[in-house]
Structure 1
Amino acid sequence: MSSSMKNLSDFSHIEVGNAKGLKFAVVVSQWNAQVTGSLLDGALQGLQQHGTVENDIDIIHVPGSYELISGADIALRNKSFDAIICLGCVIQGETRHFDFICDAVGNGIANVAIKHNKPVIFGVLTTDNIEQALDRAGGKHGNKGEEAAVTAIQMALISKQY
């Protein structure tokens, strides 16, 4: 089934796990704030729905998606977190800037995870237009922020287990 037909944030078929006692940082881009604010709301809801208390969540606002890399690195250098959730939105424009930013952010987030040996979750929308972004930030396709939170919980639990 194509994504145009369903909510992509359905977790009814998986066991997410209990996030009680886990500590998370949510690094969120201020660029495209209408979208990233909704992603943040979804992430916070997802974390709390699975047992994380508000005091175990730090929110770090950064200027844009490119700065998610530094924000995640700074968080892991200065505090002990079980996982980092990076939330951003890059929307295709008329130039190749989109390609460079998306590539750099994806690679940068992966490198931070490897450097710190901690889960760093890629919750960055890379869409053709604002409508696609809104559909994935609490609209008809669910909320990728909530999906990122579930991923962070699962990866933090796996990390503690092994």
Structure 2
Amino acid sequence: MMAGHSDNDMGLPAFDKPVKIAIVIAPYYTAIAKAQLDAARAVLDQAGATHETIEVPGSLEIPTAIGIAHRLSNFDGFVALGCVIRGATSHYDVVVNESSRALTLLGMQGVCIGNGIITVENREQAEERADAARLNTAGGAAAAALYLIALTRRFGQPKGGVGFKPRPDVIEVAGDTKGPTTA
């Protein structure tokens, strides 16, 4: 299925309800972006997921676009695609670290994201990672998004807010708390 560093082929999850994915891509390097899109779409099609592509100017804008789409649309998950090749300045470090950090923060809030932003030293490394027959990072990111959606569906709906919850053995009556109840 997917070539890469791992020899663990988990296959793809199966879904009983439709899955809708947004592929958010920064097509900064056209040929790399096309390879990434083709690879991600192939995995999503194989899983039977519908998908829509959203283009943004650069990798720093990917997390913002995902955050907006998550709040204002009905996507089940997201695939983040882009390519950042090291240059002569520290801008590379800013783009790599901040885009990754922002995607992680969105993920910690429950957004299902497969991160396929390629971060490399040179064009040759980028081509290897974008190639579906070689390292296929975009296909791996699509699979990761699908797994997170499956996990979310497995656990069901949120059980309520976060924070402190009253003890079930304490009854509150008109603002007064009565001690532990006995059955």
TM-score by length of 2: 0.77
Contact map agreement 2:86 2:120 (CA 8 A) in 1: yes
TM superposition shift of 1:138: 1.1
Matching of residue 14 in structure 1 with residue 10 in structure 2 = yes
Q: 1:78: how far off?
A: 1.2
Which one has the largest radius of gyration? 2
Secondary structure at 1:72 match in 2:
helix
* The one of 127, 139, 142 aligned to 1:149: 142
Alignment CA distance shift 1:76-1:144 (3 Å): same
Counterpart residue number, 2:38: 41
Gaps of 5+ in 2: 156-183
* 2:22 alignment counterpart: 25
- Normalized per residue, which structure has more helix? 1
Residues 128 and 135 in structure 2, CA contact (< 8 A), matched pair in contact too:
yes
Q: Does 1:66 align with 2:63?
A: no
Q: Which secondary structure state, in structure 2, belongs to the residue aligned with residue 60 of structure 1? A: strand
Instruction: Note the C-alpha offset of 1:18.
Output: 2.0
What residue is the counterpart of 1:132 in the other structure? 125
String of CA shifts for 1:107-145, please: whole Å, max 9, x gaps: 011122234x22122110000001100011116633111
**Given residue 155 of structure 1, which amino acid in structure 2 is its aligned partner?**
L
RMSD: 2.0
How many corresponding residue pairs?
A: 153
Q: Deviations over 1:52-86 (max 9, x none)?
A: 2xxx3111000111110111111101111111110
The corresponding residue for 2:96 is 102
Pairwise CA distance, 1:93: 0.7
Gaps of 5+ in 1: 1-5
Structure with higher RCO (Cα < 8 A, 6+ apart): 1
Name the SS for the 2:14 alignment partner.
coil
- Please state whether the residue corresponding to 2:45 is helix, strand or coil: helix
Write the letter of the residue equivalent to 2:22: A
With over 3 angstroms needed to count, the CA separation of the structure-2 counterparts of 1:9 and 1:22, relative to structure 1, is farther
